[in-house]
Amino acid sequence: MTASTSAPHNHRYDGLILGASLATLDCVDGYGEIADAALAWRDGRIAHIGPRAALDAEPADLAATVIHADGWITPGLIDCHTHLVFAGDRAREFELRLQGASYEAIARAGGGIVSSVRATREASEDELLRQSLPRARALLADGATSLEIKSGYGLDFDNERKMLRVARRIGEILGVRVRTTYLGAHALPPEYSDRADAYIDAVCEWMPRLHAEALIDAVDAFCEGIGFSPAQTRRVFETARALGLPVKLHADQLSDLGGGALAAAFDGLSADHVEHTSLDSVRAMAEHGTVAVLLPGAFHVLRETKLPPLQAFREHGVAMAVATDCNPGTSPLLSLRQAMQLSCTHFRLTPEEALRGATVHAARALGLVDAGVLRVGARADFVQWDIGHPAELCYWLGGRLARRVVADGRVLVERGERD
C-alpha cells in the first residue's frame, strides 16, 4: 500500500484510493462487492465509486492524494450504543459475579451503576475526559468512525451536563461524529432513595436546560425492574417529544416490561438489549421502524442465556444493529469488531448481518442518513482492512485488522507496513 501526493493541480477529488475490493453494502443482500475498485472523496463526501478500470483519467490528474491499497474497504463502523464516558472501573464486580453474585444483587447492595456514579461525580471534567479518551481511541483503532455516547453516571444536573460536555469534546478532539444521548433515567441516585417519581420530575426538568446548550441528540431510559417503570419512562419520553428529541430505550434486558413496544409507540430510533422482547413488541417495532440494537458484550459478560427473538426480528423485517455497550460494569468492550464476532457466536448472526448491524442498521439506530454505506454523497467514512474476505471481520478473535480508518475524508488511524 502506497500513497502519493501530486503537484498543485485543479483536481476533481481531494483523495482517491485504488485497488482494494469494496464492500459497499449499498444493496439489499450481499456485500455489494466491487473488485479492484476506485473510491474518491471531496469535501468530506464520497464523490466517486466504481471499478478502477472505469476511471476516465490518470489517477494523479484526478486527485490531490492517491492511495494504492489492497485488502477490503468497508463503510466506517458505527458504535450506536456506548457508555464510554465514566470514571473508575468495576473490575471487583466482575470478580463477584464470577463468584456467584447476580447483577441485580450487586446493584441493590450499592454497586452497579451507582458505584460508577460516585466515581464520575468525583472526577473533574478534564479528568473525566482524560480517562475516557483512550476508550474512544481504542474503538477508532478497530474501525469505528461514528460513536454514540450516553450520559447516565452523573444523575444530577451538573454531572449529567459534565458527561455530555465531555462527549462533545471527544468528538472535537478525535475528529469523529459523536451523537450524545441523555440518559438521566439510568438509575436512582442515593439522594432520591425511595423517591423515583420525584427523580423523574428532576430528569424531565433538566432536559430542556441541557438541550438549550446543544448537548442532547437523543434521550434514553433504563426501563427495568431495577431501573424505571414503563409509566416513568413514558414521562421522560413525553418530555423529549415536546422538545423534538428522538428517543431510544434500554428495553427488555432482564424482563419483559413491554419496552420494545413502548419505544415504538414514540417512534423510537431503537430498542436496545431486547433479550426478553415479546412478539407483540417485535410487531410494534416493525410497524414503527424501531431498530433492535443487539448488545452481545453484556450478554457475554453477564453469562446470559435468554436470546433475543432473532428469528422474529428477521421475519418481521426489524433491522438488527450491533454495538459494544462499552461500559464499566457489564460490557467493558473496546472493539466494535469484537462485538460483531460475539453477535455471530452467541446470537448466530451471519458475518454479513453483523457487518450490516455495525454500519447500515447502526446508522438507522442513530438517525443518520449519510453513513453506514459506501455510495456517492455519503460521508467519506471508511476502513481499509487487512483481510481477504469481509467474513474475516467476524472470524478473528482480536488482532489488528484495520490498516487505515478515515472519517470525513481525513485519516484518523493509519498503520505502517511493519505494524
Query: Is residue 2's pLDDT more than 90?
Result: no
Report the binding-site residues for Zn(2+).
81, 83, 250, 325
Question: How many angstroms separate the CA atoms of 261 and 276, rounded?
Answer: 12
Radius of gyration, alpha carbons of the chain:
21
Contact assessment for residue 268 and residue 247, using Cβ atoms and an 8 Å cutoff: yes
Over the stretch 367-409, which tens digit does the pLDDT of each residue have?
Answer: 999 999 999 999 999 999 999 999 999 999 989 999 999 999 9
How sure is the predictor about 9, in pLDDT bands with cuts at 50, 70 and 90?
Answer: low
How sure is the predictor about 7, in pLDDT bands with cuts at 50, 70 and 90?
Answer: very low
Average pLDDT estimate for 205-213: 98
Question: How many angstroms separate the CA atoms of 313 and 300, rounded?
Answer: 21
Contact assessment for residue 247 and residue 260, using Cβ atoms and an 8 Å cutoff: no
Contact assessment for residue 336 and residue 297, using Cβ atoms and an 8 Å cutoff: no
Whether CATH 3.20.20.140 fits 77-365? yes
Bridge partners of 251? 223, 273
3-state secondary structure of 370: coil
Report the binding-site residues for Fe(3+).
81, 83, 250, 325
Query: Right CATH number for 13-75+373-414 from 3.40.50.300, 3.40.50.620, 2.30.40.10, 1.10.1740.10?
Result: 2.30.40.10
Rounded to the nearest 10°, the torsion over CA 84, 90, 94, 95 is 160
Contact assessment for residue 154 and residue 161, using Cβ atoms and an 8 Å cutoff: yes
Report the binding-site residues for N-formimidoyl-L-glutamate.
153, 327, 329
334: which 3 cell numbers? Answer: 473496546
| Per-domain residue ranges of the chain | 13-75+373-414, 77-365
HSE, CB side, 13 Å, CA atoms: give it for residue 5: 2
Question: How many angstroms separate the CA atoms of 192 and 170, rounded?
Answer: 30
Mean pLDDT of the chain: 94
Over the stretch 285-311, which tens digit does the pLDDT of each residue have?
Answer: 999 999 999 999 999 998 999 999 999
Question: How many angstroms separate the CA atoms of 370 and 381, rounded?
Answer: 10
Q: Give backbone dihedrals phi and psi of 346, rounded to 5 degrees, phi first.
A: -85, -40
The whole-number pLDDT of residue 90 equals 87
Report the binding-site residues.
81, 83, 90, 153, 186, 250, 253, 325, 327, 329-330
Query: Is residue 418's pLDDT more than 70?
Result: no
Average pLDDT estimate for 80-96: 91
Question: How many angstroms separate the CA atoms of 207 and 184, rounded?
Answer: 9
Query: Is residue 107's pLDDT more than 80?
Result: no
The whole-number pLDDT of residue 101 equals 86
Report the binding-site residues for 4-imidazolone-5-propanoate.
90, 153, 186, 253, 330
Over the stretch 150-176, which tens digit does the pLDDT of each residue have?
Answer: 999 999 999 999 999 999 999 999 999
DSSP 244: T
